[in-house]
């Protein structure tokens, strides 16, 4: 397939964007409602540790989630109100569709009856078209996977797994708290249950080379994951990572290096894998480095130009496995 035909398939972009996928799947614009329902994490409550991963801020992965309230309905209302204020003048907020995104910390780390009530309430909202649950692969017991599978018969359910890297040495350094085999097992069981899986990867972790990052992406590409979030390492105030950065233990990635690495990552991924994130967001008030990531619009425009100038598109270097993965 040519570069031009790829771009035509993805509405002019050289990658399979989430926005394109949602419009193709649901036939309309879809917005994510990030929710915070008071979950914690085994890496914070003392089960595995108390400090979380070294890059984890006070808000966990949910720095942009709706303000926590006593009710899910209240969070929905708050989040929808914020979205409506961002719509172009003259646009109608009525009739929009949403993904109920349980984002903060580990959203399957709770008793099954609580999870069932929570997720069932979320998908019962008529304007919700899908459920997305961010969690850890070591927090997916069989009964929880069965619950998610049952809900998937009502509305699509996505499970987001925080892998970050396939390299065990790095995983220990960042205090991830589980080996790669646990991720592989969770991925296999989620697939058997018919659930879509999105995997989080962090580029630029301390001690990792570009080739280390690309090895992680190749590993996931061979497993034909449904979606991926490529998150450039952000150094945020109040994290253990910030202390290491300020002590000069590692350097943040420059934009030029990120363009090159991210382009190589996209080239290795199957064309069908949906790109849920490129570089990611960090709260500007807490961002220490790299500061250039604060201007996300500028970076994405530069990245698009870089890909087109260099004839790069998603899947151009995808290595099809010789055996079933």
Residue 291 is classified by DSSP as G
> Please, are residues 32 and 80 in contact by the beta-carbon 8 Å criterion?
no
pLDDT of residue 2: 42
Residue 1 has pLDDT above 90, yes or no: no
Considering its fold, how many domains does the chain have in total?
1
Identify the pLDDT of residue 95: 75
| Average pLDDT in the chain | 91
Among 204, 60, 235, CA closest to 136: 60
| Beta-carbon contacts of residue 246 (< 8 Å; ≥ 6 apart) | 288
Averaged pLDDT for residues 3-19: 75
pLDDT tens readout for residues 195-214: 999 999 999 999 999 999 99
Domain that holds residue 297: 15-309
Q: Is residue 116 part of a domain?
A: yes
In a domain, 9, yes or no: no
51-105 confidence digits (pLDDT tens)? 899 998 765 554 445 556 568 999 988 888 888 888 876 565 667 899 999 998 9
| Residue 32 included in any domain | yes
Question: Is residue 8, in this structure, part of any structural domain at all?
Answer: no
Percent of the chain having pLDDT more than 70?
90
* Ranges 25-29, 64-68, 96-100, 239-243: which has the least confidence: 64-68
Give the C-alpha separation, 145 to 150, whole Å: 9
pLDDT for res 91? 61
Identify the three-state secondary structure at position 157: strand
Average pLDDT estimate for 103-126: 96
The predicted structure's pLDDT at residue 66 = 56
| Residue 97: CATH number of its domain | 3.30.750.200
Has residue 169 been placed in a domain? yes
In a domain, 303, yes or no: yes
Would residue 4 count as lying in a domain?
no
- The pTM of this model reads 0.92
């Amino acid at each position: 397939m040519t570069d031009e035909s790829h771009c035509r398939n993805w509405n002019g972009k050289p990658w399979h964007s989430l926005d394109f996928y949602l419009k193709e799947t649901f036939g309309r614009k879809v917005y994510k409602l990030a929710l915070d329902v008071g979950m914690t994490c085994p890496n914070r409550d003392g089960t595995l540790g108390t400090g979380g991963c070294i890059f984890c801020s006070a808000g966990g992965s949910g720095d942009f989630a709706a303000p926590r309230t006593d009710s899910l309905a209240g969070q929905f209302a708050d989040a929808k109100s914020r979205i409506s204020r961002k719509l172009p003048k003259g646009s109608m907020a009525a009739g929009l569709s949403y993904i109920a995104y349980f984002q903060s910390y580990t959203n399957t780390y709770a008793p099954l009856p609580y999870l069932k009530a929570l997720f069932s309430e979320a998908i019962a909202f008529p304007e919700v078209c899908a459920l997305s649950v961010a969690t850890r692969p070591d927090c997916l017991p069989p009964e929880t996977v069965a619950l998610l599978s049952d809900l998937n018969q009502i509305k699509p359910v996505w499970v987001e797994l925080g892998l970050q890297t396939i390299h065990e040495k790095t995983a220990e350094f960042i205090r991830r708290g589980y080996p790669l085999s646990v991720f592989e097992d969770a991925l296999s069981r989620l697939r058997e249950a018919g659930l879509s899986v999105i995997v989080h990867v962090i580029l630029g972790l301390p001690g990792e080379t570009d080739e280390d990052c690309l090895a992680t992406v190749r590993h996931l590409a061979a497993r034909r994951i449904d979606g991926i979030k490529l998150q450039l390492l952000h150094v945020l105030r109040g994290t253990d990572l910030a202390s290491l950065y300020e002590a000069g233990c590692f350097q943040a990635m420059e934009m030029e290096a990120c363009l090159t690495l991210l382009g190589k990552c996209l080239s290795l991924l199957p064309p069908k894998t949906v790109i849920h994130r490129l570089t990611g967001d960090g709260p500007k008030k807490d961002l220490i480095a790299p500061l250039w990531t604060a201007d996300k619009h500028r970076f994405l425009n530069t990245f698009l130009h870089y890909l087109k100038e260099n004839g790069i598109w998603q899947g151009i270097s995808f290595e099809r496995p010789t055996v079933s993965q």
